[in-house]
């Protein structure tokens, strides 16, 4: 069967609701050969297969060991490219060892006080508005403010910093990078290196060790330290990695809960379920739909031998709806006990921001549903982005009701 009979990423029906297609892929073509961005690849969608590939050392993120892809050039964008998601061992292992201590449970829990203040402040700002676009007025504001606070950038700079993100994301995406897009990415990287370099200079020697940037500056106990370029790239990476995913997750969580009124009622009745509700909404509608790997050696997937050099596109959102793993996978159930979903991926690149995201989500859902118990979605079909990887909702009109 031709691959586009099942999987047509540009089809309006797919873009409106991707999950029926993911079901067909899992059931009828768990390894689907197709072409994305002009590149031959295979799409893998069952939970067990996605999980196995992500944990397999033969599945790499660098097609050429140690090399930056030639189309990214040798300018500032290429420096930016040498960041965690684009590196394999041993460079990746070393960077993770230096970065992970910044995200210990104790350090992350220490941020809860100021995260709650930011959330309250943002909810205060919309109280009285009656009707709002949740994406623009809440979901975009909270992660921008949290990210700035995390990396010690003034919140007033958030808009400028985020305006450079699309150009930098382009370098990390699989899309074709035109000479114009590369020049824009080089400019964005140049700006970011100057900006974040300035922040680091102003912070050196002033931060306690329980601060995320303080921990990054401190380095490892054996004396190994991030270089200045690595530090700057890491700060940019934290902004890039946290902003978009959190914006999309907050939107999906509220949308999914309001579209399942018995679940939002259960959360309002028992606010202690907020952490679970956040996790379940991430499973139900993961913000990152696909990640990719290149095979450095042959690997067996769903009974098929994939040769070395195969480009594998892994469906995280599809895996999260796999009935083979999650009973009644298409049902949102905030009391679900199985939390091993794929929204944060798995294996060597498992999201280091996951513990922080859990606190953000828990704090946000508790406060939002307590404050606006009658909130309702006022659009039948919220606007969805066409990006294959980031299937975000671009606008979510809400009537806030009582409490507004």
Contact set with ligand HEM (CB under 6 A):
84-85, 96, 237-238, 241-242, 245-246, 249, 287-288, 291, 316, 343-345, 349, 351-353, 356-357
Pick between residue 39 and residue 379 the one whose CB is nearest to ligand HEM: 39
- The per-residue DSSP string of 94-154 comes to HHHHHHGGGG-HHHHHTTHHHHHHHHHHHHHHHTT-SEEEHIIIIITHHHHHHHHHHHT--
CB 144 → ligand HEM: shortest distance, Å? Answer: 12
Tell me which residue has its CB nearest to ligand HEM. Answer: 353
> What's the longest Cα–Cα distance across the chain?
62
Q: Which residue's structure tokens are 């050969």?
A: 33
What's the burial of 312, exposed, middle or buried (CB within 10 Å: 0-12/13-18/19+)?
Answer: buried
Residue-wise burial string across 200-213, b where 16 or more C-beta atoms lie within 10 A, e elsewhere? beeeeeebeeebbb
Nearer residue to ligand HEM within complex by CB, 164 or 349 = 349
For residue 103, the minimal CB distance to ligand HEM (Å) is: 7
Q: How far is the CB of 399 from ligand HEM (least distance, A)?
A: 26
CA distance 355 to 394: 26
* Element at 367 (helix H, strand E): helix 354-371
Using the structure block, give the residue that is written with the tokens 């690997």.
299
What would the two tokens of residue 93 be?
A: 């292992």
- Non-local CB neighbours of 376 within 8 Å, separated by 6+ positions: 258, 398, 399, 401
Helix (H, G, I), strand (E, B) or coil at 60: strand
Bridge partners for 60 per DSSP: 294
Residue 291 vs 404, nearer CB to ligand HEM: 291
**Shortest spacing between CB 380 and ligand HEM, in angstroms:** 26
Minimum Å distance from CB 152 to ligand HEM? 13
316 vs 404 by CB, closer to ligand HEM: 316
Q: How far is the CB of 2 from ligand HEM (least distance, A)?
A: 28
Nearer to ligand HEM, 177 or 286 (CB): 286
Would you say 44 or 404 has its CB closer to ligand HEM?
Answer: 44
Q: Cβ closer to ligand HEM: 30 or 287?
A: 287
| Closer CB to ligand HEM, 88 or 186, in the complex | 88
What is the closest distance, in whole angstroms, from the C-beta atom of residue 266 to ligand HEM in the complex? 22
Helix ranges restricted to H, 212-341: 212-218, 228-259, 261-269, 274-284, 316-320
CB of 51 to ligand HEM, least distance (A): 12
């Amino acid at each position: 069967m031709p691959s586009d009979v099942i999987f047509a990423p540009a089809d309006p029906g797919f873009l409106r609701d991707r999950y029926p297609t993911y079901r067909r892929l899992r059931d009828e073509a768990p390894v689907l050969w197709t072409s994305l961005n002009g590149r031959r690849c295979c799409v893998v969608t069952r939970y067990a297969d996605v999980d196995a590939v992500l944990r397999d050392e033969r599945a790499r993120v660098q097609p050429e060991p140690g090399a930056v892809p030639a189309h990214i050039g040798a300018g500032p964008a290429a420096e930016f490219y040498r960041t965690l998601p684009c590196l394999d061992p041993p460079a990746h292992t070393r960077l993770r060892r230096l970065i992970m201590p910044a995200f210990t449970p104790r350090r992350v829990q220490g941020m809860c006080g100021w995260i709650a203040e930011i959330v309250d402040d943002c909810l205060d700002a919309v109280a009285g508005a009656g009707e709002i676009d949740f994406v623009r007025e809440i979901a975009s504001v909270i992660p921008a403010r949290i990210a700035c606070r995390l990396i010690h950038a003034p919140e007033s700079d958030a808009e400028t910093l985020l305006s450079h993100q699309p150009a930098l994301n382009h370098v990390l995406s699989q899309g074709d990078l035109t000479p114009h897009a590369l020049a824009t990415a080089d400019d964005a990287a140049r700006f970011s290196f100057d900006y974040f370099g300035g922040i680091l200079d102003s912070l050196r020697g002033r931060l306690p060790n329980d601060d995320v940037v303080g921990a990054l500056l401190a380095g490892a106990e054996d004396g190994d330290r991030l270089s200045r370029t690595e530090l700057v790239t890491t700060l940019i990476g934290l902004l890039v990695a946290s902003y978009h995913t959190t914006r999309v997750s907050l939107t999906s969580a509220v949308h999914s809960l309001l579209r399942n009124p018995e679940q939002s009622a259960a959360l309002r009745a028992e606010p202690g379920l907020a952490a679970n509700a956040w996790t379940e909404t991430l499973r139900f509608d993961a913000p990152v739909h696909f990640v990719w790997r290149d095979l450095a050696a042959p690997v067996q997937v769903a009974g098929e031998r994939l040769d070395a050099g195969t480009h594998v596109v892994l469906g995280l959102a599809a895996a999260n709806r796999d009935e083979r793993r999650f009973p009644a996978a298409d049902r949102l159930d905030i009391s679900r006990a199985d939390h091993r979903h794929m929204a944060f991926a798995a294996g060597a690149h498992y999201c280091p921001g996951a513990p922080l995201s859990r606190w953000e989500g828990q704090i946000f859902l508790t406060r939002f549903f307590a404050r606006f118990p009658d909130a309702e979605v006022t659009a039948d079909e919220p606007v969805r982005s066409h990006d294959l990887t980031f299937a975000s909702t671009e606008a979510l009109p809400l009537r806030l009701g009582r409490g507004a």
